[in-house]
Chain A
Amino acid sequence: MNQDIDIRLEKEELEIFKRIIQKSILTRIKKIGAKGGVVALSGGIDSSLVATLAQEVLGENLTAIIMPEEGISPENDIRDALNLVKSRGIKYKYITINDAVEWFTKMLPSQDLNDFRTRLTIANVKPRIRMIINYMYANYEGKIVLGTSNKTELLLGYGTKFGDMAADIYPIGDLYKTQVWQLAEYIGIPTEIIRKKPSAGLWKGQTDEEELGHTYYEIDRVLYALVELELSVRETSELLGIDVESVEDIYRRIIHSEHKRKPPTITRLSKMCLDKDWRYPVERY
């Protein structure tokens, strides 16, 4: 155990984090006069955590939307999502996205999933379909969209821009994945959800750790060293005893995904460029 990697949360911190996250959701909803929130629930840990935290403070005013792609989304995910909403009394909708995926896929010149380009393109279409459904219900019900991105994903850029990353707020966006596990355990998320291998569900059998090439435990320690301790790649590698190439790979993901963490860059032509010179809070009176 390296003492500098202070990523594990104390019990007292978990309680404070829980209260802050819940209050931040309520504050935004109240500020804009929304009727509640919607959250896309996959049955994975991030969305289960956001849904559970939000439901405790929003009750009936939270809608979870379960949007599996039948035959592709793992059955245990669908089952876990349904069990969660039923056991917690979360209001939900169940919508399969297969038809929409098919409709979009047909537009591509090739539907061959062995072709990497096609596979990746379609993988990104799916979260964007879910985004449209999310926002459709959010609009219809006068609610905001609660994002489920965590700090690890946001730093790696491991998410689809305007897809699963599309949201009004990121309640768990400052928590590393391993901290998400801790908080999930603290608030009593079922162990089958916590223990399962994380997957973006982009294609059958996909797991995040395999795709990223490292375990979340390793990734979080590297991210913590690079971001929180502000160490260089070399220093991180030395501190953690992880090879430079692996740290370099993670570092490169961070710098190449900056665009995903920012709104589109505006070309500045005036003295009051809206993303550079103009500084107003969102929750503004």
Chain B
Amino acid sequence: MEKLRIALAQIETKLGDLEGNKKKIIDSIFRAKELGAEIVVTPELSTLGFGSGDIYLDKVNENLDALEEIQLTLEETGLTGVIGYVDRDERGFFYNAAAIIVNGKLIGKYHKVQLVNYRLFDEKRYFKPGSKLPVFKTPHGILGVLICEDIWFPEPSRAVTFRGAEVLIVLSASPYDRGKNNLWKDFLRERVRDNILPAVFVNQSGIQDGVTYWGGSMVLSASGKIIKELPLLEETIDVVEIHLEESKRLRRRDIRVREVRREILEELLKAFEDMQQ
């Protein structure tokens, strides 16, 4: 039985509180270790906190230093980490990113592809969108890592599925408004059902500047069943065991991944281009 024990660190980050947030992440890694996890996942932008405004521009260096310290803790504990942070490339552009760290080594980075700029969101003021959808091979399985809004679109999860992801990991900082928690369940279920693979959603908790990050992190099995749901609004951590073979078993008869046709994907791209005209 292929199993994956994954810790959902539903932490309450504070806006720009690098020291405090780093400590919470490090404490979560130790706690995840105690709970027997192999992988620990933190929310989106967990080093600086989601909604930090121009603080992203001021504190990117310190955030990268914090990530190095987090790497040391992951090395010490032997856990694999998927950590939300602000990345910066050699040209000086910033990304809403996730670091994938195995045995203390940064084996890969993911840059959020669907930045949000509507309603209260202002991500394009700070971040450049990513355009790559890689998967990450770890000793515990192949991870498809996405960030928040990426899951509201069908394409990113589809791409990592084609690349062989065995589990979808979604880092999030989702602000609460009426019905939001149920809407997220719908989106996650749709992606899981379309791609027939399990999903782990880790959401920030707590209230910052009147915006509530509702927590409610959850794990869905490849069949779309919610197998774990963390409490709303509370800072907490929990470990869930995911059975990776379920997806393979379901895919024996469920053809919706293997029978995707190239001609149809090409047609989709053409249709998209028509829409852009």
Residues of A within 8 A of B (CB): 9, 13, 16, 19-20, 23-24, 27, 169, 278-285
Contacts and interface: CB of A to CB of B under 8 A. Distances in A.
Interface of B: 14-18, 20, 51-55, 122, 125, 176, 178, 206-210, 212, 232-233
Interface centre among A20, A24, A282, A283 (most CB of B within 10 A): A283
16 contacts: A9-B178, A16-B176, A16-B232, A16-B233, A19-B232, A24-B207, A27-B207, A27-B208, A279-B53, A279-B54, A279-B122, A280-B53, A282-B209, A283-B14, A283-B208, A285-B15
Contacts of B17: 285
Nearest to A278: B54
Nearest to B48: A285
A20 B212 contact: yes
A280 B176 contact: no
A285 B14 contact: yes
* Chain B facing A: main interface SS: loop
A283 B209 contact: yes
B56 to A, nearest CB: 10
Contacts of A27: 206-208
B123 to A, nearest CB: 12
Nearest to A23: B207
B176 A281 contact: no
A283 B20 CA distance: 14
A169 B208 CA distance: 12
Contact of A280 (B14, B20, B55): B55
Contacts of A20: 176, 207, 212, 233
Contacts of A19: 232-233
Nearest to B180: A16
A13 B178 CA distance: 7
A278 B55 CA distance: 10
A281 B208 CA distance: 8
Contacts of B233: 16, 19-20, 23
Nearest to A17: B178
Contacts of B212: 20, 23-24
B45 to A, nearest CB: 13
Contacts of A282: 209
A281 B51 contact: yes
Contacts of B51: 281
9 cross-chain pairs, A with B, having the tightest CB-CB distances, nearest first: A285-B17, A279-B53, A285-B16, A281-B209, A281-B15, A27-B207, A24-B207, A283-B209, A20-B212
Contacts of A285: 14-18, 20
A232 B176 CA distance: 26
Nearest to B179: A13
Nearest to A173: B210
Contacts of B18: 285
A166 to B, nearest CB: 17
A72 to B, nearest CB: 34
A145 to B, nearest CB: 15
Nearest to A16: B232
A13 B177 CA distance: 10
Interface centre among B122, B207, B233 (most CB of A within 10 A): B207
Contact of A169 (B15, B122, B210, B232): B210
Contacts of A284: 15-16, 52, 55
